[in-house]
Amino acid sequence: APEPEHIKLQHILISFTGKVPGKNITRSEAEASALAIQLLERARKGEDFDALVKQYTDDRHPGIYGLSNRGVAAAQGEYPRDRMVPAFGDVGFTLQPGDTGMAPYDPAKSPYGWHIIRRLE
């Protein structure tokens, strides 16, 4: 299936020590991985995603971003896909609205940690 031109995502960033400048995050990489997997399962079971964002994210709440796909003009308030870390769009553009996925930590593609991503629209 072709990827959508525009999406709106909400995400939870689960980071670990030293990955987010200016944030004093104390959890280890292993702790972050375990928490991210647990939160993905909780989100997929129907727990209130916004409440999970509020409680756990290492980004700002609400953590909602509009993205435009490659070759598509960004609407007002949207980010071009390539301005975000690669894994964010790689996961986000494959989700159906309402679905939740995860971009695992990767030094090149997801350098801040794990992103649990819900596609809103």
Question: Is 1 inside a domain boundary?
Answer: no
- Which CATH number characterizes residue 40's domain? 3.10.50.40
Give the model confidence (pLDDT) of 47-58 as tens digits.
999 999 999 999
Which pLDDT band holds residue 1 (cuts at 50, 70, 90)?
confident
Q: How many domains does the chain have?
A: 1
**49: closest CA among 80, 17, 4, 95?**
95
User: pTM of this prediction?
Assistant: 0.95
Which pLDDT band holds residue 45 (cuts at 50, 70, 90)?
very high
**8: closest CA among 61, 72, 81?**
81
Calculate the average pLDDT of the chain: 97
Which pLDDT band holds residue 39 (cuts at 50, 70, 90)?
very high
Question: Is 24 inside a domain boundary?
Answer: yes
Phi-psi sector, 106: left (phi>0), alpha (psi -120 to 50), beta: beta
Which pLDDT band holds residue 25 (cuts at 50, 70, 90)?
very high
Write the DSSP assignment of 81-114 as a string of letters: GGGS-HHHHHHHTTPPTT-EEEE--BTTTBTT-E
**Full domain range(s) for residue 58:** 6-119
What average pLDDT does this structure show over 41-64?
A: 98
